[in-house]
C-alpha cells in the first residue's frame, strides 16, 4: 500500500489532500519534526534529503519533494485531470506550484518557522523572522495576481495539483494571522469547501478552519 510520511499541519497536508481527492487507499506514517524524526538513520535510508513529504509506493520506490509527488500522482491517475492538457495551463500550474513550494514556503515560511537555521542569536532570529514575513507577503501578492487572471477561483479553470501547494501556504498564513489578499482568500474559501480538504483538515486536527 502507498505510504505517506507526513506531519499534521505541515506542507504534507497538501499531499494528503491530493491522495483524498484521488480517492486512493493509502496509509500514513506520522513524522515528528520537532523530535527530529527526519534526521534518524531509518528515515534517511528512505529519504536521504531528510524532508517530508515522502511517498513510498507499492514497490518500495520513495518519491521525495512536493513537486515530484504531485507530478507522479497527476500523471499516474489522469482520470481526475489534476494536470491540465493544455500546455499554457500546465505552465501556470508549474509556475504556481514551484513558486508556492520553493519561494513562498522555501524562502518565506522557512525563515518564520525555523529562524535558528539562519541565525544563532535571539536578535538575529527576530530579524530573520521579520525578513520571512516580508517574503511571505511578497509571495502571496505574486500568487494573488496570478489568481486574478484565472477563469475560476483556482489556479486554472479546474482544481489542479497546484491548488494544494497554494492552499497549504494560505492555510499557514491564516494560522499565523497574516491577512490573505483578495484572490488568495477566494481560493482558500473555495478549497475549504471541498470534501477532501474538509476531511483532511478535520483528520489533522484543524477542523476549526472548515466553515
Among 4, 5, 6, 10, binds ligand GSH (CB under 6 A): 10
Summarize the chain as % helix, strand, coil (round to 5). 60, 10, 30
Q: Which residue is nearest to ligand GSH (CB)?
A: 51
Query: How far is Cα 62 from Cα 41, in angstroms, rounded to an integer?
Result: 15
The smaller minimum CB distance to ligand GSH, of residues 64 and 156, is found at 64
Q: How many CB atoms lie within 10 A of CB 8?
A: 16
The smaller minimum CB distance to ligand GSH, of residues 66 and 154, is found at 66
Exposed, middle or buried, 74 (CB in 10 Å: 0-12/13-18/19+)?
A: buried
The smaller minimum CB distance to ligand GSH, of residues 153 and 174, is found at 174
Q: How many residues bind ligand GSH (CB under 6 A)?
A: 11
51: contact with ligand GSH by CB under 6 A: yes
Residues 71 to 130 in contact with ligand GSH, rule: CB under 6 A? 101
33: contact with ligand GSH by CB under 6 A: yes
Residue 5: CB partners within 8 Å, gap ≥ 6?
12, 28, 29, 31, 43, 46, 47, 52, 53, 54, 55, 56
Q: How many CB atoms lie within 10 A of CB 113?
A: 16
171: contact with ligand GSH by CB under 6 A: no
38: contact with ligand GSH by CB under 6 A: yes
The smaller minimum CB distance to ligand GSH, of residues 51 and 152, is found at 51
Query: How far is Cα 125 from Cα 108, in angstroms, rounded to an integer?
Result: 13
Helix H or strand E encompassing 26: strand 26-30
The span of 47-55, 151-159, 171-179, 192-200 binding ligand GSH (CB under 6 A) equals: 47-55
The smaller minimum CB distance to ligand GSH, of residues 49 and 193, is found at 49
Spatial contact of 160 and 150, defined as CB atoms under 8 Å apart:
no
Shortest Å, Cβ 208 to ligand GSH: 20
62: contact with ligand GSH by CB under 6 A: no
The smaller minimum CB distance to ligand GSH, of residues 109 and 188, is found at 109
Shortest Å, Cβ 33 to ligand GSH: 6
* Of 40, 22, 112, residue with least CA distance to 5: 40
CA distances from 38 to 63, 100, 161 (A): 15, 22, 25
Q: Which residues bind ligand GSH (CB under 6 A)?
A: 10-11, 33, 38, 50-53, 65-66, 101
Amino acid at each position: 500500500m502507498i505510504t505517506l510520511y507526513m506531519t499534521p499541519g505541515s506542507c504534507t497536508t497538501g499531499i494528503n489532500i491530493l491522495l483524498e481527492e484521488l480517492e486512493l487507499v493509502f496509509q500514513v506514517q506520522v513524522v515528528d519534526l520537532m523530535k527530529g524524526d527526519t534526521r534518524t538513520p531509518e528515515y534517511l535510508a528512505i529519504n536521504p534529503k531528510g524532508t517530508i513529504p515522502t511517498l513510498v509506493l507499492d514497490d518500495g520506490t520513495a518519491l521525495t519533494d512536493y513537486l515530484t509527488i504531485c507530478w507522479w500522482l497527476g500523471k499516474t491517475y489522469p482520470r481526475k485531470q489534476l494536470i491540465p492538457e493544455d500546455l499554457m495551463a500546465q505552465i501556470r500550474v508549474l509556475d504556481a506550484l514551484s513558486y508556492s513550494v520553493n519561494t513562498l514556503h522555501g524562502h518565506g515560511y522557512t525563515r518564520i518557522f525555523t529562524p535558528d537555521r539562519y541565525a544563532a542569536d535571539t536578535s538575529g532570529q527576530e530579524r530573520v523572522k521579520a525578513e520571512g514575513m516580508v517574503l511571505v507577503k511578497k509571495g502571496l501578492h505574486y500568487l494573488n495576481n496570478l489568481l486574478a487572471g484565472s477563469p475560476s477561483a483556482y489556479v486554472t479553470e479546474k482544481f489542479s495539483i497546484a491548488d494544494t501547494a497554494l492552499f497549504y501556504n494560505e492555510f499557514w498564513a491564516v494560522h499565523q494571522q497574516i491577512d490573505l489578499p483578495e484572490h488568495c482568500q477566494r481560493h482558500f474559501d473555495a478549497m475549504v469547501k471541498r470534501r477532501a480538504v474538509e476531511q483532511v483538515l478535520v483528520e489533522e486536527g484543524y477542523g476549526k478552519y472548515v466553515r
